[in-house]
Each structure stands twice: as structure tokens, then as C-alpha cells.
Amino acid sequence: MKNFKLITLALITLLFTNACSNDDDATPPPVNEEEIITTITVTLTPNGGGTAITLKTQDLDGDGPNLPVTTVSGDLAANTTYNGRIELLNETEDPAEDITEEVEEESNEHQFFYTVSSSLNLTTAYTNFDDNGNPLGTAFTITSGAASTGVLTFTLRHEPIKPNTGLSDAGGETDIETSFNVTIQ
Amino acid sequence: MRVFILLFLLISSNFIISQNCNNTITGKVLDLHDNTILVDARIVVLEINKQLLTNESGGFTISGLCNQTYTIEISHAFCLPKTYKIELISSIEKVFLLEHHLEELNEIILEGKTNNDSETSLENKITKEELEKSSSKSLGDVLNSISGISSLNTGNTIVKPVINGLHSSRVVILNDGIRLEDQDWGAEHAPNLDINAIDNITVIKGASALQYSGNAIGGIVITETAKAPVKDSIYGKTIVTAASNGRGGTTTTQLTKTYKSGWYGNIQGTIKRFGDFNAPDYNLSNTGVYERSLSVRGGINRFRSGLEASYSLYKMETGILRASHLGGAQDQIRAINNLEPLFVDDFTYNINSPKQDVEHHILKLKGFKKFEKLGKLDFKYSFQQNNRLEFDVRRGDDRDKPSLDLKLNTHTLLLDLDSKLSETANLKLGLTGQYQTNFADPSTGVRRLIPDYSEYNTGLYAILEKQINNQFIFELGARLDYTYLDALKFYRTSFWEDRGYDSTFQDIVVEEFGNQILVNPKLNFYNPSATAGISYNFKEDFKLLFNYSLASRAPNPSELFSEGLHHSASRIELGGLEFKSETAHKFSFTLQHDSDRIRFTINPYINLISDFIVIEPIEVQQTIRGNFQVWEYRQTNARLMGVDIDGEIKLNDYFKYNHQFSIIKGKDITKKDALINIPAASTRNAIAYTNKKLNNLNLRLQSEYVFRQNEFPDNNFEVFVPETETLEIVDVSTPPDAYHLLGFNSSIDYKLSKKSILTIGFGVSNIFNTNYRNYLNRLRYYANDLGRDYSINLKINY
């Protein structure tokens, strides 16, 4: 029985020393989300030169309660072809991390989709592709038609089924989905 | 032999001296372990060569004894005989304790246990045989066979028990006397326990077993390991199971060595490996599981004291259906509207992201000592470490990094005293202390889901059991727990301000970092609990139980600190720092009948819970990733009521019919609406054939019918879909249809040698390959449940 008491004592001591040693006030470091995409900037440059138009959505608190802020720098001209580039940033890090590079490196596992509302007179075409020749879509062209207004939506899918016929059978997980009110003049 | 000769001489010498020979020994023979009465124990008084058996209450009387020393030998069927020397100078009364043992290794006797965890509430048991048959199943699957218990599933490998409609932190799992601390707050966190390492399970639906916990608002699952017999022996068993669905199996083996001196050692290990499971019409991609467990224990078991040290490791890696990994509401619509999962690949054993990789270590030391007057003193200490890694589908450098990496360390110390106040009264007293720390590894690159915290807990309880007469037993208990939680939590500044915490909790702010804010909540919770009950026996084989239990539970870290996207649920979850404990009042009645031909229990209950913490949707939030439904924890008043019915009829010597029925209604009284995730009514009917003469042949056909849950809150929401330019409803509420499954099980024994028996089992589940979905499976939106499964099970005892 003596042993028993000794073991009990030893354990209690262990328990409390352990309890005390962990009880320091060192503050843990904050975690900055490494993967989050806070900002998408779509730059549309007219084919023959001219002022570029930017469409931008910024959501600095990610899934926090603040709404994303969407800006469109101007209207599109009618019957014009624009070269589009998409830039993705994680602005929770300082300096901001360019996520576009990551997406382009993993082109087989990503794809952008462009959804044009029926009222908007506009067509899109992919201009960059993954290693297997399937669309990637960080580069594209937009060809505007007659004057109209409507919604242009950009969707980035991670690990979609490729090739696919569109969003409905692509599956995967949505990393970006943002809509812009666009006017063609 | 020398002793005998000596004795003989002694006796002969004594006979010469004539004496007063009117002494009487009035004795009672009890099992040392649990004070069970030992009927028909053989009493031999060597000196006068007198033999007799104990009566029905374990008593005996020998009269006409002289003033001398007598040698009394007491033996019983399952005990080592014990010899007492008693010097008589007058009549005496004495209790003789024998150690009741397992006679044959292959026939472990469980029914001898009368030391119930609660005398006045219904206890449901799962025996060793049932556990052995389900060797490749999880704890949740096994418990599912008890009426009133269902499970909350994430796929079919992550299975959490739901007792009378409650789960997670409201269900306490006791692993061989110590509460399992495995981050049970998460709906997709299965208990980290290998059922092959345990010997039997007892379930108490409610909080009436206060010696274990005061916050088991749902119930307690008690698992026990086998007792080692005190004799020289070595024995073991190996079970191999193979199943067609998942193309895998389980191998488990254990070996025990025991000595007459009381020393024993046991080693046990299990490996379980399954690839992708399949639904009737398609493969369920990325649903494989790889589980390993190892346990070692050793100790000494004496009549009046014992000590045991043990270590166990449990490791489980399990994939989560690939098609369930998606983004926001628009992805949800696609997944729900598609009849088949969007992602179906060929069968593989590989487990990819999303997956869970969990490791649980338990180091334990326990001992007991019996004191003549005081009673039995139990001591337990354990250290548990739970390390949970969750992997999501990630990008770039983060690809192989877990999204969640939590390490939960828990030290527990328990001291229990079980004392017999009188022949009819029993008092249990106890003291518990627990210290727990959680560490969330920041290197995941994902904000901490659960913050770093330290938690201190102490508890104190007393339970009195009093047998009033042969018919009535009365039970009364009280317990108080105190919890102190010291956390360091990072909030998003936007959330902190949106919630108004910047004014109510300003004093706990430690530091501000850009768009995050570090706070140090220090929370105190006092949780009283109590139980009162009565057990009434009548007409020999009827029993009526009534139990009232008051339980209270402090909010768990998830309910307090959640704020952000819960990936596996595709929703944003928000907790509340201001939450207080929830309090439950449960009234449970049981009518029990147990005769040779018919056995049944009817168990209606009502559970009234105030400040019940529920999570429910409040709005749809727009983010750069699309729309997400926001679910917020809220405190409300709830009422759960239902009835569980169990019945068994012996049709003849061979055939037996079993019936089970459970129904439960859950209501949010404040909101006047149904509670979410309340199991649907279900019934099970089985017919079993057993022939002991024919190699113990067992055949069993079972039907299970699960009704549709018609009472559910409508949490559907609308979301705009750009492709179709329409608003569409995301139907996250409507429960799936009712379903019926048929299963078959069989087993037969072969004696291989004198000591070893081979048992071969064969089974089929979901015989008709029925397509079905279960309301309580979190992946029901995305895929059908399991299709037909053939399994074989070989067990060898040696």
C-alpha cells in the first residue's frame, strides 16, 4: 500500500507541476489566412488601344460579416473586342500575395467561368489553357455587341471536372463568385 | 498437507477437553467484487466434517459448535475455494467474501453483475458477443442497435451516437472509467475508441449516473474492459472480418496472461482497412478508412486491493466523400439537385483530402482498496492526448497541410468511495479533478477554429441507494461541478464590432492585429446536477422504475467561440461568448418484465431543457466566394419526449422474436417549432433461430423500417443563380423518405481442441440493395447511403 500512496502522490505532483508550467501568458501569434482570395481585379484592355476598364471586388474580411465591395471603373464601348486579364490577391498578407500565379501553376485544377446575363450583349472566349488544352481562363477576350446593360459573373472553380460544358457539370468547389453590373454604350 | 495434519492434531486434542458447545456461526457468502449473493456455495467445516449449501440469500447457519478453532472451507462454482480459521468463544455472525471468477475462458459470465450504475433508470447493455460480431463497425454503429439510440453520421465511417435525440457534448463516453476527451463538440467528430478493445457497453439514457458526470444531458455510454481471473492461465482471441462493400476488413487480436498471484498482463491490437464504399448505383469516392489501435495493460488483482497501469493508442484516418466538398450556396444547389454525386471516380483504397487524421493516446493508472468498515476506495488517474488533423482540398504550398490541427491534452484524477452503510443502504462519494489544454497549431495557415485554452474542472458527488424492502429501492444523488475556462481567442475585428462585443467585452481585449483582435475570455461555470429515483418490483418478474435527473452543461468551445466558415457544412457558424449553461430536467419511467418466455421494457420519457443551445440559420451572407448561409448558436427552451420499446418472445426452444420501436418529438418551445436533427421514428423486427446442440448455430433475419421525419424546421433559403438568372431555393431542410432495410446474420461454432473454438459468421446487410438516405447523415444531400454488403467473420478463441 505504501507504493500506492507514493504513486498517487507522485501523480498529483506531476499533475500540478504540469498545470503550472503550461500556464504562461505568452500570447499566441495571429494566423493570417494563406489561401484566402480577398481581391479579384479584371482588367479589360480594348484591342486597338484606349483606356482599360477594371472590374474589382474586394472582401477583406473573407467570411466575416462585412460585404464585398464591387467597383466598375467605366462602361464598355459597343462592338469592341477587349483583352481580359484576371488578377487575384490575398490582401490579408503584407505585402499582398499574388494568387494568380498559384492558380496558373495549377492550371489543371482550376477554371474560370464567365456568365453573361441574357440582357447583356456580350460574348466571351478563353485565351489561356491548362496543360491538357482545357480552358483555364485567367486570360480571355470579351466582344461587346450593341448597347445594353446586364450582369457579368466570374466564377473560379477549384478542382472542377475537366473538360466540362459549363458550370452545371463542372463540379468542384467555388473559390470566387462575383457579379458586376456592366453597361455597354 | 502439513497444515491438515496440524489441524487434525489440533482437533483431536480439542475433542478431549469437554466444553460448552452451543455456539452458532451465522454467515453470508458474497462476491468480493460486487457483493453479489452467492447461492449454493458449499460450506465445509473440516473439524466436524459437516457440509451444507448457502440458501437463496447466500446465508447459512451452523449450530452446536464448541469454543475452539474451526476450519471452514467455502467454495462456489465460479470461485477459488477459500479457507477460514475461526476461533469461537461465542456465537458469531460473519460475512464471507469469495472472489467470483470466470470459469471457462470461452464463457465469460456477465449477468453476475448486479452492481448497476444507476438502480432506478433503465440500463441497456451490449454484450461481448454482439461486439465481436461487429468487429469492423464503429462504436456509433454498435450503439445504434439499442432502441432510442440513433447516430449522427458524416458518411458511414464518422458515426456519433445520438441518445434520445441528443448528441456531441451532451453524450458522455466513459472509456473504462475515464471520460473520453476527444473533442466531442464537433458534429463530425466520431468517438476515438476501438470497440475491439472493450468487453461490454452499458448505456444510460439520461444523466442519472452522477458518479461519472453531471452534464450528460443526453446520456452516458459506459465501456468496460474484461476482468482478469486470478489463476494461472494464458488465453487469447483473434477475429478476422472481411466485407464486400468497401472491399476491406478488420483483424483484431488479444492475448492475456494471468497468474494465481493476481498479476496479469494483456495486449490487444486492431487493424481496419477499407477502400471506397459504394451506394447501390455508384462508388462513394474518397470514403475509405484506415484505423489502427493498440493497447497494453498490466497489473495485480488481489482480493482487497488492485492496481493497473495501461496505455492505449487509437489512430484513424478517414476520407470524406469528395462530392461533399463544395463552396457556397450555388454549389449546394447543384449538389442537392443532382441525383448522383457530382464527383464519382473508380474504386480506390487511397484516402485523399478532404479527410480526417486523428490520434488518441490514453495513459492510465487505476487502483482500488477495500476497507472493512469504510468500503471500497477507487483511484484513477489518466492522461489523454487527442490530436486531430483535418485536411481540406487546398491550393499551392498548402496542399498537404492540414486546415485544422488541434491538440487536446487532458489530465483526469478521480477518487471514489463506495461504502455500505448497512445491509440495505449504500453510499457513493467522489471527487474529480481535471485539467485540460487545447493547442491550435497556427502553421495550418487557416484561422483557428477552436482557440487555445486551458480548462480546470472539479466535481464532487454523493449518491445514496437505500433498499426499503424487497420491493422498493430508493436512490438519491447530487453533484456539483465547477469549470474555469481561460481562452485566448482571435476574432475578426469586423465580427467583434458587428456583434457589439467591442462595447460589452471591451475589458478582455489583449491586443489588436490589423483586422484581427486577440481577447482573453475567462469564464466560470457552476453546474449543479441531481438525481432521484425509485425502483419497484412486483409480481416477481415485473419492475417499475422512475427516475428524475437534473443535469447542467457548460457551453462547449465550439458554441462559445465559433466564428467563420465551417467548410464541411458549407455554412458560416457563429457562437456566443455570453452563453450560460444549459439545464435539463429529465423524467423517465420504465416498465420492465422479464420471464422465461417474454421480456419487454417500455420506457417513456420527457426531457425539458432550458437555455438549450441550438444552431440555426439567420441569414445569407455574401462573400467573394459566393453566398453562404449563416448559422448562429442561440439559447432557447426545448422539450424532448418520446418512448422506447423493446420486446422479446421465445416462440419455442429454438425460435425467438425481437421487436424494437422508438419515437421522439423535439420542440423548441420558445419558437414553437420543431427541433432540427431529431431522429425519425423507427422500428426493428427480427426473428432468430438458435440451436445449441447443432454447433451453436445462430440464424437471424432482421428488418429495419425508418419512417420519414415529418417534423422539421424550415431552414430553406433562396439564392440567385446567374446562369439561369433565377432565384432558387436551397433545400437544406426536407428530410428524405422512409426506407426499409433487410439484413441477415448467422454464426456457427467448431471446437478445434479442448481449449479453442472457431466461430464462423456470415452476414448480408441491405439485402435488396435499396437506395436510401438517412435524415441524420450530414452527407445525405450529396449521395445515397450504403448498398448491399456481404461479410464474413472468423473468430478463434484459444
What phi and psi values does residue B377 have, to the nearest 5 degrees?
Answer: -105, 125
Interface contact flag, A117 B725, Cβ < 8 Å: yes
Closest to B139 in 3D by CA, of B205, B104, B75, B189: B189
Separation CA B200–CA B224 (nearest Å): 6
Q: What is the pLDDT of residues B233-247, one digit of tens each?
A: 999 999 999 999 999
Residues of A in contact with B565 (CB under 8 A): 62-63
Whether A173 sits inside 8 A of B326 (CB atoms) is yes
Strands B50-53 and A139-144 turn out to be unpaired
- Considering chain B, what percentage of its residues have pLDDT values greater than 70? 94
| Cis ω before A95 (30° cut-off from 0) | yes
pLDDT of residue A168: 83
What pTM, to 2 d.p., does this model score?
0.84
Burial of B17 (0-12, 13-18, 19+ CB in 10 A): exposed
Q: Comparing C-alpha atoms, which of A55, A28, A18, A23 is closest to residue A39? A: A55
Output the pLDDT for position A179: 93
pLDDT confidence of residue B273: 97
Please, which pLDDT band fits residue B86 given cuts at 50, 70 and 90? confident
- Closest Cα to residue B498, out of A90, A178, A67? A67
Rounded to whole angstroms, the Cα distance separating B84 from B62 reads 14
Taking the CA of residue B564 and the nearest CA in chain A, the distance in Å comes to 6
Q: Please name which of B116, B29, B28 lies closest in space to residue B77, comparing C-alpha atoms.
A: B29
The letter for the amino acid at B541 is D
- Exposure pattern of B86-108 as b/e (b: 16+ CB <10 Å)? bebeeeeeeebbbbbbbeebbeb
Statement: residue B16 has pLDDT above 60: no
Residues in chain B, overall count: 798
Question: How confident is residue B15, by pLDDT bands cut at 50, 70 and 90?
Answer: very low
Is A40 within 8 Å of chain B by CB? yes
From B102, B362, B110, B79, select the one nearest B235 (Cα to Cα).
B102
* Residue position matching grid coordinates 449522427: B152
> Which has more confidence, B96 or B458?
B458
Asked if the Cβ–Cβ distance from A161 to B495 is below 8 Å, we say no
* B748 in contact with chain A, both atoms CB, cutoff 8 A: no
- CB pair distance less than 8 Å for B454 and A106: no
Q: Residue B253: its pLDDT value, please?
A: 96
Residue B683 CA, distance from chain mean position: 22
Whether B448 and B490 have beta carbons less than 8 Å apart is answered as yes
Q: In the prediction, which pLDDT does B12 show? A: 45
- Highest-pLDDT range among B53-57, B395-399, B490-494: B490-494
**CB within 8 Å of B685: residues ≥ 6 apart:** B657, B658, B659, B660, B702, B703
Find out whether B444 and B405 touch, Cβ atoms under 8 Å.
Answer: yes
**CATH 2.40.170.20 domain position(s) in chain B:** 222-797
The widest CA-to-CA distance across chain B, in whole angstroms, is 114
pLDDT band at B420 (very low <50, low <70, confident <90, very high): confident
- Please tell me the predicted confidence (pLDDT) of residue B274: 97
Answer whether A77 touches B (CB < 8 Å): no
Taking CB atoms and an 8 Å limit, are B495 and A37 in contact across chains?
no
Contact (CB, 8 A) for B325 and B393: yes
Q: Could you tell me how many helices (H) and strands (E) chain A has, helices first?
A: 3, 10
Q: pLDDT value at position A23?
A: 44
As given in the structure block, the three cell numbers for residue A185 are 454604350
Cell of B793: 467473420
Mutate which: B343, B455, B624, B632, vs A, most A CBs within 10 A: B624
Q: Could you tell me which of B308, B319, B440 has the C-alpha nearest to residue B381?
A: B308
Residue B34 banded pLDDT, cuts 50, 70, 90: low
Put simply, whether A165 touches B (Cβ < 8 Å) is no
Whether B331 and B627 have beta carbons less than 8 Å apart is answered as: no
Measured distance CA(B549)–CA(B372) in Å, rounded: 32
Which residue from B398, B626, B725 is facing A34, i.e. has the nearest CB?
B398
Q: Which of B627, B620, B767, B654 is nearest to B703 (CA)?
A: B767
Residue A97: list chain B partners with CB under 8 A.
none
Distance CA B309, CA A3 (A): 14
Q: pLDDT band at residue B229, thresholds of 50, 70 and 90?
A: confident
| CA–CA separation, B722 and B425 (whole Å) | 72
Arithmetic mean of pLDDT over chain B: 89
Return residues 50-69 of A near B (CB < 8 Å).
Answer: 57-68
Collect all residues of chain B within an 8 Å Cβ-Cβ radius of residue A99.
395
d(CA B773, CA B792) in angstroms, rounded, equals 25
Q: Are B413 and A117 inside 8 Å of each other by CB?
A: no
Cβ(A111)–Cβ(A134) below 8 Å: yes
Give the model confidence (pLDDT) of A57-74 as tens digits. 999 888 888 899 999 999
* ipTM given for this complex: 0.83
Contacts of A14 (CB under 8 A, 6+ apart): none
Q: Using the predicted structure, report yes or no on whether residue A21 has a pLDDT greater than 70.
A: no
Q: What is the pLDDT of residues B706-760, one digit of tens each?
A: 999 999 999 998 888 888 888 999 898 999 999 999 999 999 999 988 888 999 9
Residue to substitute from A149, A173, A181, interface B, most B β-carbons within 10 A = A173
Class of domain B222-797: mainly beta
Fold of the domain spanning B2-98:
Immunoglobulin-like (2.60.40)
Of B369, B494, B572, nearest to A1 by CB-CB distance is B369
Asked if CATH classification 1.10.10 holds for the domain at A39-184, the reply, yes or no, is: no
Q: Does B442 touch chain A (CB under 8 A)?
A: yes
Which pLDDT value is given to residue A13?
A: 56
What cell was used for B552? 447542467
* Amino acid B54: pLDDT: 87
Amino acid identity at A87? E
> How far apart, in whole angstroms, are the C-alpha atoms of residue B416 and residue B384?
20
Q: List the one residue out of B231, B33, B10, B197 whose CA is nearest residue B115.
A: B33
Task: Tell me the mean pLDDT in the region B141-150.
Answer: 92
pLDDT at B493: 92
pLDDT value of residue B104? 32
Q: Shortest CB distance from A173 goes to which of B327, B493, B622? A: B327
Of the candidates A19, A60, A67, the beta carbon closest to that of B435 is on A19
Instruction: Give me the residue from B343, B498, B625 closest to A177, CB to CB.
Output: B625
Cβ of A34 under 8 Å from any chain B Cβ? yes
| Closest to B122 measured CA to CA, from B164, B176, B160 | B164
Tell me the mean pLDDT in the region B627-654.
Answer: 94
Reported confidence tier of residue B14, pLDDT bands at 50, 70, 90: very low
Name the strands in the sheet holding B23-31, side by side, starting at the edge strand that comes first in the sequence.
Answer: B59-65, B23-31, B92-98
Predicted confidence at residue B515, as pLDDT, reads 86
Quick check: B551 pLDDT over 60? Answer: yes
Q: Which of B110, B134, B104 is nearest to B33 (CA)?
A: B110
Across chain A, which distance is largest between two alpha carbons, in Å?
95
Taking residues B68-90, what's their average pLDDT? 80
Whether residue B697 is predicted with pLDDT greater than 80 in this model: the reply is yes
Residue B527's Cα: distance from chain center in Å?
22
Distance CA B222, CA B212 (A): 9
Determine which of B380-394, B523-537, B564-578 has the lowest per-residue pLDDT on average.
B564-578
- Which pLDDT score, from 0 to 100, does residue B655 have? 96
The span from the CA of B480 to the CA of B462, in Å, is: 10
| Partner-chain contact A35 B394, CB within 8 Å | yes
In the prediction, which pLDDT does B231 show?
84
**Comma-separated ranges of CATH 2.60.40.10 domains in chain B:** 2-98
